[in-house]
């Protein structure tokens, strides 16, 4: 695959990247040359995803660190781990989120209570340390947010 841009030497953290879209985003960043750090809360799934991805890249290009983006303390610990073991964080992709594919009336309240913090609190302002640097003149970044129209979370939770 030819890259549209060169991220060689850059360190990227993709939250919620042990599978699905996050894993694909991390692979695309690695394909573009970045050293990537996968993140999730399920350590077994995270290690498996990192090992599978690492097989396609040079040693040291794929790392993983488990932490919950809804916890300020865990997020700070995770960012500190990246900075200490991988290098200065230059790219942050806020992908973490939770979705339950059941009708809303069948959704257990405890499951619903996990959705909003992960989907809301897993945003740049809540990962303040790296966000301050990423927003400085030393870096450029784009932050997105999902906007639901015509049913939103009541369609598929």
**Which residue has 């964080």 as its token pair?**
89
Task: Please state whether beta strands 35-40 and 91-93 pair in parallel, antiparallel, or not at all (unpaired).
Answer: unpaired
- Provide CB contacts within 8 A for 150, sequence distance 6+: none
Q: What is the pLDDT of residue 21?
A: 92
How far is Cα 11 from Cα 85, in angstroms, rounded to an integer? 11
How far is Cα 39 from Cα 50, in angstroms, rounded to an integer? 9
DSSP 129-153: HHHHHHTSTT-----------TTGG
How many C-beta atoms surround the C-beta of residue 148 within 10 A?
10
**20 Rama class: left (phi>0) / alpha (psi -120 to 50) / beta:** left
Q: What mean pLDDT is predicted for residues 25-51?
A: 97
CATH architecture of 11-154: 3-Layer(aba) Sandwich (3.40)
Mean pLDDT, the chain, integer: 82
- State the pTM of this model: 0.72
Instruction: Reduce the DSSP state of residue 104 to 3 states and report it.
Output: helix
**Which residue has 């090992």 as its token pair?**
51
* 68-117 tens-digit pLDDT: 988 888 989 999 999 999 999 999 898 887 777 888 888 888 887 777 66
What residues does each domain of the chain span?
11-154
């Amino acid at each position: 695959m030819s890259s549209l841009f060169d991220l060689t030497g850059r360190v990227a953290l993709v939250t919620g990247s042990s599978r699905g879209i996050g894993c694909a985003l991390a692979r695309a960043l690695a394909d573009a040359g970045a050293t990537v750090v996968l993140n999730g809360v399920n350590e077994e799934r995270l290690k498996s995803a990192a090992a599978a991805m690492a097989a396609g890249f040079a040693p040291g290009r794929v790392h993983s660190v488990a932490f919950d983006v809804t916890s300020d303390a865990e997020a700070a610990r995770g960012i500190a781990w990246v900075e200490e073991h991988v290098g200065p964080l230059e790219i942050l992709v806020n992908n973490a989120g939770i979705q339950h594919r059941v009708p809303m009336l069948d959704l257990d309240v405890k499951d619903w209570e996990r959705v909003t913090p992960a989907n809301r609190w897993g945003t740049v302002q809540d990962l303040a340390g790296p966000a301050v640097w990423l927003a400085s003149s030393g870096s450029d970044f784009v932050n997105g947010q999902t906007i639901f129209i015509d049913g939103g979370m009541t369609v598929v939770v």
